[in-house]
Amino acid sequence: MTECTKNIGGTMVKAVKGDITKTQADALVNPANSLLVMGGGVAGALKRAGGEEIEREAVRQAPVPVGQAVATTAGRLPARYVIHAPTMERPAMRTTAEKVFKATAAALRVAEDLGVDTVAFPGMGTGVGGVPPLEAAKAMMDAIKRHLEGGSVLKQIILVAYTGDLLEAFCQALGE
């Protein structure tokens, strides 16, 4: 399996296996910590690929509580924005499916405010956050479905899985 798709309220939700730093989208989501320090995991990868200015711009807006999100430039990434949506308060903390839900919902609200057509999410909370892939995927899909029920300008939401396990979890959650 390389991808799966589902149309939800006129928005195409697609799960693919890949690298978020190489994903073409208007906005890429960073499952951040509240301090917006971009150390490891997806944040570190986004900073390495896009440039230090992403972190510098993000940190100026910190702290950002779980359940809120902010946008910055995307530097050299193939996107216009990075949306920083904290899934945890401090770097490298364990997190929960509830915080994954809140972070996903916050990122979608910011994407709407930016007026973008496409937004790409990695597995939120699945790295150092320690949330099992299927649990995280279900929390993310719950937030996505609730958001899209209210109508949306988003044309496409891309769920980018770094591993085959996460892709399977995204596709299972998308099918439910």
- Cβ contacts of 14 within 8 Å, gap of 6 or more: 3, 4, 5, 156, 157, 158, 159
Number of structural domains found in the chain: 1
Against a cut of 0.95, is the pTM above it?
yes
Query: Which CATH number covers residue 124?
Result: 3.40.220.10
Give me the residues paired with residue 88 across strands: 33
Pure H helices in 87-163? 97-114, 133-149
Domain that holds residue 78: 3-175
Pairing of strands 27-30, 156-161: unpaired
Mean pLDDT by 10 residues, the chain (176 residues): 90 97 98 95 97 98 98 98 96 94 98 98 96 98 95 96 96 94
Looking at residue 1, its pLDDT comes to 63
Length, in residues, of the chain: 176
